[in-house]
């Protein structure tokens, strides 16, 4: 999968961002962790390492720096994090050490690759049970790397330029990505457009975590989402988050809309902080370095259901800019056995996953910064 939650071109972190529901998911998770770490030693360490920057704001930076991809961070007039010069300098070094590339065989990874893994959703499997879709640069490995840097098990002077500051920024974002089902699971299709096992059928093509699939909404759901169709991956990144907030009239004045949305987000964060999520802890014997894999294994059945609730049509091969092939097509909801429309089911999933992600981010940082 190739999509992030959203790229915002900001002049500095002190700017007010445009209202977008991609960043809201990450910001919500970061703010929950901020609140849970407040007045704790780990929270103070995070504040010191991030020069006072909150996890709420740090959580969107790994997507924001995609704005450097076209012309690089040294281009005239390009945005920088001017209010945090030390962080900005380290982000530039990180971007340069992991520049964007379309060459999947590049010995130097693209920072985009760290945001996802494409484990096949069919047949059912765990992260460790197969090979297709996993790489040494995927999100599970990237998170392990960041944890090692924070714990001091890996040096800050490393080829990937992941310092402790950068590791916190990346983890603040990656924990959210790992709890978005289509950042973990992808469906692969054979020549006939049917689900296939890429470990057995090497010609099977993936849907890049839903990035290449158009999801058609029913008229009723289209009214909620605000569009007749959307990219499947983008729906989970954006619309499923938006569906957890009030649906406001389009003619509502901009300032009132912002005020009402901010109020709803504060209430959502308050809810997440007050109530401990169910089953958010991994088994006590699980080493912290293995938490990302355990979380990936937990979300994979959800990624599978995110595909199995849909009927795929006109699935065919297309070619990307690098010459690689992928599966493109259209998806429509099957009649739901639980009487939950796809959009409503997804919104519930996202609500619960954001809740767990906030608590898990706080716990991950607390354990890593001991």
Distance from chain centroid for Cα 199: 25
pLDDT of the residue at 12: 36
Percent of the chain with pLDDT over 70: 94
Q: Which residues neighbour 94 within 8 Å (Cβ) at sequence distance 6 or greater?
A: 65, 111, 160, 161, 162, 166
Answer whether residue 2 shows pLDDT above 60: no
Token pair listed for 142: 């990237």
Half-sphere exposure (CA, 13 Å, Cβ side) for 367? Answer: 18
Question: Which of 9 and 138 is assigned the larger pLDDT?
Answer: 138
The answer to whether 245 touches 264, Cβ cutoff 8 Å, is: yes
**What number does CATH give the domain 21-368?**
1.10.575.10
Token pair listed for 79: 């945005």
Average pLDDT over residues 361-369: 98
pLDDT of the residue at 320: 85
Q: How wide is the angle at C-alpha 134 spanned by C-alphas 133 and 140, nearest 5°?
A: 130
How sure is the predictor about 14, in pLDDT bands with cuts at 50, 70 and 90? very low
pLDDT of the residue at 234: 94
Mean pLDDT of the chain: 92
- The residue written with tokens 């796809």 in the block is 342
Whole-angstrom distance, CA of residue 335 vs CA of residue 339: 8
Whole-angstrom distance, CA of residue 341 vs CA of residue 362: 33
How sure is the predictor about 10, in pLDDT bands with cuts at 50, 70 and 90? very low
How sure is the predictor about 19, in pLDDT bands with cuts at 50, 70 and 90? very low
The answer to whether 364 touches 291, Cβ cutoff 8 Å, is: yes
Torsion of CA 281, 286, 292, 297, to 10 degrees: -80
Answer whether residue 224 shows pLDDT above 90: no
313: left (phi over 0), alpha (psi -120 to 50) or beta: beta
Going by C-alpha positions, the residue among 207, 237, 239, 212 that lies closest to residue 223 is 239
What's the whole-model pTM score?
Answer: 0.93
How sure is the predictor about 233, in pLDDT bands with cuts at 50, 70 and 90? very high
pLDDT in tens, 59-111: 999 999 999 999 999 999 999 999 999 999 999 999 999 999 988 889 999 99
Whole-angstrom distance, CA of residue 111 vs CA of residue 113: 5
How sure is the predictor about 22, in pLDDT bands with cuts at 50, 70 and 90? low
Answer whether residue 7 shows pLDDT above 80: no
Answer whether residue 113 shows pLDDT above 60: yes
pLDDT in tens, 157-204: 999 999 999 999 999 999 999 999 999 999 999 999 999 999 999 999
Whole-angstrom distance, CA of residue 117 vs CA of residue 221: 29
Going by C-alpha positions, the residue among 342, 340, 323, 324 that lies closest to residue 332 is 342
Token pair listed for 120: 């096949």
- The residue written with tokens 């330029």 in the block is 161
pLDDT of the residue at 251: 87
Using only C-alpha atoms, what is the Rg of the chain?
20
- The residue written with tokens 């991809």 in the block is 69
pLDDT of the residue at 236: 96
pLDDT in tens, 291-328: 999 999 999 999 999 999 999 999 999 998 878 899 99
Whole-angstrom distance, CA of residue 145 vs CA of residue 358: 20
Whole-angstrom distance, CA of residue 262 vs CA of residue 35: 17
Answer whether residue 225 shows pLDDT above 90: no
Going by C-alpha positions, the residue among 231, 253, 248 that lies closest to residue 326 is 231
Length of the chain (residues): 370
The answer to whether 184 touches 140, Cβ cutoff 8 Å, is: no
């Amino acid at each position: 999968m190739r999509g992030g939650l959203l790229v915002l071109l900001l002049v500095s972190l002190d700017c007010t961002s445009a209202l977008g529901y991609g960043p809201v998911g990450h910001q919500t998770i970061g703010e929950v962790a901020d609140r849970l770490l407040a007045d704790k030693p780990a929270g103070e360490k995070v504040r010191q390492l991030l020069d006072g920057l909150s996890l709420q704001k740090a959580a969107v930076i790994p997507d924001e720096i995609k704005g450097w991809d076209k012309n690089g961070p040294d281009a005239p007039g390009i945005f920088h994090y001017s209010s945090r010069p030390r962080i900005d300098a380290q982000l530039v070094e990180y971007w340069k050490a992991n520049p964007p590339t379309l060459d999947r065989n590049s010995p130097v990874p693209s920072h985009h690759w760290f945001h996802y893994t494409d484990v096949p959703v069919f047949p059912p499997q765990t992260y460790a049970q197969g090979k297709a879709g996993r790489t040494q640069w995927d999100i599970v490995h990237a998170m392990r790397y960041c944890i090692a840097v924070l714990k001091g098990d890996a040096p800050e002077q490393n080829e990937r330029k992941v310092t402790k500051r950068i590791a916190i920024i990346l983890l603040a974002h990656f924990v959210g990505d790992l709890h978005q089902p289509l950042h973990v699971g992808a469906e692969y299709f054979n020549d006939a457009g049917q689900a296939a096992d890429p470990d057995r059928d090497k010609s099977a093509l993936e849907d890049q975590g839903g990035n290449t699939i158009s999801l058609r909404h029913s008229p009723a759901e289209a009214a909620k989402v605000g569009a007749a169709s959307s990219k499947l991956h983008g729906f989970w990144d954006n619309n499923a988050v938006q569906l957890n907030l009030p649906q406001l009239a389009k003619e509502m004045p901009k300032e009132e809309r912002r005020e009402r949305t901010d109020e709803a987000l504060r209430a959502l964060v308050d809810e997440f902080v007050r109530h401990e999520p169910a089953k958010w802890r991994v088994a006590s014997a699980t080493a912290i370095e293995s938490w990302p894999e355990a979380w990936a294994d937990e979300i994979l059945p959800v990624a599978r259901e995110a595909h199995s609730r849909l009927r795929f049509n006109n699935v065919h091969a297309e070619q990307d800019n690098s010459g690689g092939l992928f599966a493109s097509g259209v998806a429509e909801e099957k009649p739901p056995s639980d009487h939950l429309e796809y959009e409503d089911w997804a919104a519930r999933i996202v609500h619960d996953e954001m809740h767990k992600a906030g608590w898990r981010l706080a716990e991950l940082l607390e354990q890593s910064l001991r």
